[in-house]
Structure 1
Amino acid sequence: MLKSSGGKFVRLDVTLDTAIYPEHSEFTPFRTLTEDISAGGASIRLLIGTAIQSVSQLYLWMPLTLKSGEFHYLRLKSKVIRVTEKSMEICCCTSNFLNLQKMIFRH
């Protein structure tokens, strides 16, 4: 489903497996899911207490599966804009992609 983000990109409600890696070893890399994604950034589910702070820079690795069964991995450098609490256990991290030139790795 499409939704307006109030910004210049349309956000898509899509759940993608995502691995999050810190830029400078601030935390241990981990896997999670997106809540939505746009050409400008992504909203990512986090457990309460995850050591990600606003303005942190990180790398999001997202696998894309083609109909052929081939995988492509996007490695997207991102900046955390805000972390907001959604429930007692889950918070949401809003991030902006820092460069829209994605690096694609084939598997």
Structure 2
Amino acid sequence: MQWRQFVRLDVTLDTAIHPEHSEFTPFLTLTEDISAGGASIRLLKGTAIQSVSQFYLWMALTLKSGEFHYLRLKGKVFRVTEKSMEICCCTSNFLNLQKMIYRH
């Protein structure tokens, strides 16, 4: 039984993380799961995002037709947990559910 407001889907999406105010260098990563309320993002230990409160996530969605859609969502760090010796997982909340879709 799911006790969350939104159901999480185990899906790996290519994601770019950009700071809101140049607090760190943008970087590429992958999601671990995603929901309408947020996403879990893989991080290397020591990634500067751990101390940042808000950032932008660019997520690439590939359709069966081969067309790409890019979601630009504002996110906020909710929790960072250790997964292994080198990897952490950042749980983030989306701050604006009014997504902007960019087609390529």
Q: 1:54–1:81: 8 Å Cα contact kept in structure 2?
A: no
In structure 2, the gaps of 5 or more residues are none
* Aligned equivalent of 2:83: 86
Q: CA 1:41 to 1:76, structure 2 compared with 1: closer, same or farther past 3 Å?
A: same
Alpha-carbon shift at residue 70 of structure 1 (Å): 1.1
**Structure 1 residue 55, shift from structure 2 partner:** 5.8
- TM-score under structure 2 normalisation? 0.92
Q: Distance in 2 between matches of 1:46 and 1:36?
A: 13
Alignment correspondent of 1:99: 96
Deviation at 1:20, TM superposition (A): 0.3
Structure 1 moving runs of 4+ over 6 Å: none
RMSD across aligned positions (CA): 1.0
* Per-residue deviation, 1:84: 1.2
Q: Is the 8 A contact 1:15 1:36 kept in 2?
A: yes
Q: Unpaired runs of 5+ in structure 1?
A: 1-7
For the 8 Å contact 1:55–1:82, the answer to whether it is kept is no
Percent identity among equivalent residues?
91
Asked if the contact 2:23/2:52 (under 8 Å) is kept, the reply is no
- In proportion to residue count, which structure has more strand? 1
- Equivalent pairs, count: 100
Q: Please give the secondary structure, in 2, of the residue aligned with 1:53.
A: helix
Alignment-derived partner of residue 29 in structure 2: 32
| Superposed displacement of residue 52, structure 1 | 1.2
- Separation (CA, whole Å) in 2 of partners of 1:87 and 1:22: 25
TM-score, scaled to structure 1: 0.90
